[in-house]
Amino acid sequence: MTSNSAAPAPPFLHGRVAMVTGGGSGIGRACALALAGAGATVHVVDRDAEGAKSVAGEAGGRSHVADLADPDAVASLPADVDILINNAGLQHIAPLTEFPPERFELIQRVMVTAPFLLLRRTLPHMYAHRWGRVVNVSSVHGLRASPYKSAYVAAKHALEGLSKVAALEGAPHGVTSNCVSPGYVRTPLVEGQVRDQADVHGITPAQVLTDVLLARSPVKRLLEPEEVAAAVLWLCGPQSASVTGISLPLDGGWTAG
């Protein structure tokens, strides 16, 4: 006999625990909210205490204030997570001949070493439960170079490699690892760049988008953080269990050229 009063199925990430680095702003915030919306309990990690706290409040999760450049701070983060979203990042723009070495090194620490340390820390839990999802927020700059972004391009290419190794090692344990690789996304960081470039070049913000930032993108629009989060969520969902070791460009066709 069938009943119409059967309880609805729980959301697909019900019972899963996620950690999102750089979750206090932009793409990380959108990922934290999307994962929470799908039922996960979310740890929001950021060096910005206010951002982390506010997003953890929105997501019904927990905030952790940590500077990912500091290995001791990384070692204080939860290890028992099922879903790891390596998202925190920063940019520095300068020609190679003038690039400050300490800035280069910091970018590698936050965007390569911290993801490595977090994988090392969380994979044993995922392996023990025979299920895990790792999504690394890379960039079109994990696949293509631009001048003046040596540290960022080097770090994102390294993250793409690290993600593939995690895919190969994780596969026998039910763990997938993938990258999402966006072009320009409408975050506070990019909106600031648009204003700055408009002032520098004496052109309108709309011209900055089409002629400068999106010059190599056939689709002339910024992505929204929620569009990146939707791809991240899909990579954590039931339809993508066989998708591993990939880089999913969300780049308006940039890498097709």
212 binds ligand NAD (CB under 6 A): no
182 binds ligand NAD (CB under 6 A): yes
Structural contact between residues 32 and 87, judged by C-beta atoms closer than 8 angstroms:
no
Query: Total residues at the site for ligand NAD (CB under 6 A)?
Result: 28
Binding positions for ligand NAD, 88-107, rule CB under 6 A: 88-90
CA distance 88 to 104: 16
Of 154 and 171, which CB lies nearer to ligand NAD in the complex structure?
154
Please pick, from the candidates 13, 118, 126, 137, the single residue that binds ligand NAD as defined by CB under 6 A.
Answer: 137
Dump the DSSP string for 146-195.
-TT-HHHHHHHHHHHHHHHHHHHHHGGGTEEEEEEEES-B-SHHHHHHHH
- Known catalytic residue: 152? yes
CA distance 197 to 63: 34
Of 182 and 252, which CB lies nearer to ligand NAD in the complex structure?
182
CB of 27 to ligand NAD, least distance (A): 4
By the 10 Å C-beta count (0-12 exposed, 13-18 middle, 19+ buried), 33 is classed as buried
Nearest-CA neighbor of 137 among 57, 63, 227? Answer: 227
154 binds ligand NAD (CB under 6 A): no
Residues acting as catalytic residues: 152
Q: Which residues bind ligand NAD (CB under 6 A)?
A: 22, 24-28, 46-48, 51, 66-69, 87-90, 110, 137, 139, 182, 184-185, 187-190
